[in-house]
Structure 1
Amino acid sequence: MKTKLLYIVILLIAMGGVLLFRGARLQGLIYVPIAAVLALILNEAVKRLPLAWWLVVGLVFMIALFLPDATMVAFFPGETLNSSAELAYFFTITPALIVAALLLAAGMRRLSTSVSLRPNRWWTTAVLFLSLLLIAKAIHSFYWFIVWDNTGDSLAYLWLFFPSIGLIMAGFILFNTLPNRRKILGFGYVLLLLPILFAVLAAARQVDYRALTAQRADAVVGALGRYHVWNGHYPQNLHELSPRYMLSIPRPFIIYGQDWCYVSDEITYRLSYVDRDHWSDPRLFGRVHQVAMHPADESAWPSPCAAEIAVIKAKFPAYPYTYKTVAE
């Protein structure tokens, strides 16, 4: 009992230290006991729940991390275009790192049991492997979230706050549930992943999202060209490109959840995307990336991205998004 109390005190001090180091107000310390209680609950869950249950939980979070941004916007609509990515980040990446630690703890505990009590090796191997995959995917998703963060009012390194708290919780659970020398994994989990996340964040901060969007648009244009060579006309929609001419269609990296604005009459096409001059500018417009063979009557085509921007205006009625022409 005394040992558990000591662990709890250390956990509280560590979380409180992270909060204060990140510049949180004293009122923010209320989250420390909440996180500590959650860590204790998860600590007991690791000891009691079967491996199959943890495997299901891990798969659920893995699927969540693979969901496309348009789906995440549907789940976490937010109040503005930028807030959807932030909500998706909050509810997926940090919890995934905690769940990965729970999987690791559950699997390692089974490995340490006696032969007579040891469950099927396949389950243990699957849980441990899923834990590693979940960590890798969470880091990958963290990278792309930071790139998305560059497109708005970036919080930069402050985004390490939530993973820091999550990793401390995860380290506490690993240290408290694993036997003997394996407790060192609790420290290793924190000391290894925190620097990795810091390095990933630093790398993502260097990405030019407009240049990335141009590269992706060029890739789509190349796929359209291949489609035209093979079929003698352009597709009616971009979904016809995948998977034969392009394995998957990358989205523009300007506004979270937005896709390309594409129109075609099979003889020619126009590829554009929703853009804005500054992240805080509510005036949205369609930036044309490529037009293949201007049609005889280009006025018959709608204004670039007009329909897509109308959807944005309807989705966020409280924010004054408007459509503007590029010339404005």
Structure 2
Amino acid sequence: MAESNQPMTSDFILVGLFNHTGPHLVLFSLVATMFTAGLLGNTALLFLIRADSRLHVPMYFLLSQLSLLDIGFPLVTIPKMAAGFLLGEGSISFGGCAAQMFFLMLMGVSEAVLLSLMSYDRYAAVCHPLHYPVLMRRQVCLLMAGTSWLSGVLVASVQTAIALRFPYCASRTVDHFCCELPALLKLSCADTSAYELALSVSGVLILLLPISLIVTSYGLVLRAVLHMRSAEARHKALATCSSHLTVVGLFYGAAVFMYMVPGAFHGPHQDNVLSLFYSLVTPTLNPLVYSLRNREVRRAMAKVIGRGGCRAKR
């Protein structure tokens, strides 16, 4: 029968993003370059935060958590995609597909929650500088980090468990470069419309609530910035906020469209592009936008490089 289930151990086939034509080879090289740059940038940031005691402050603690997520996010998808492109074999085991889906949701939800909490940190620093040491004391920072990771684990566990209970038909070809939930649901023999509706509703809590916190926090920050007397300080704060909001907008915009807009309104090509935004583009941009442009980080980098130069002379 065409709709009979195959054994749960059957492999899935990932279609991938690129073929071996000239333009696609260029795009693949660009993806590989961004992947490498993102890993190096986030790893360097983690090292600097750990090495320099001046960066042992709440903002950089939260940024270290973001860097951990931004290292894990691309590692879940890009190496498998690259292997499929280079070796011409896009098969992935059922267990591997389940693991990809779980870790993608874990990283995505954790980052969504963490970005919203980071916006509160900026609000506290700009709008309540005298109370900042109390508002962002060590216990609060640890609670923020734990909340973001725990949220990711809980949502990923529930969503993956539900998705794997659906029966899958004879076709095991996933029209995507990774085993992401919306793409996998399209292969199910069962009616998934109720679950997709529930997924869209849950997106209100997972995505829209953090977005509302970010908008509120940065709105209050911008209001405080506009009342600053120093034009230079105002310009610097506005530039920082706008760059932060741009990256946050890319991440949340792609995630909202993927998970809250019904699948009938976007095709596989759009899904691939959207997934690249929050699994590769924003993890690559985050260390540049949030940290490596900061004066404190540049000083820490110069200090570490200086130490390396002194050791080399010895």
TM-score, normalised to structure 2, is 0.29
Q: 1 or 2 for the larger relative contact order (CA 8 Å, sep ≥6)? A: 2
The TM-score normalised by the length of structure 1 is 0.28
Larger proportion of strand:
1
Q: Which of the pair has more CA radius of gyration?
A: 1
Query: Which structure dedicates a bigger proportion of its chain to helix?
Result: 2
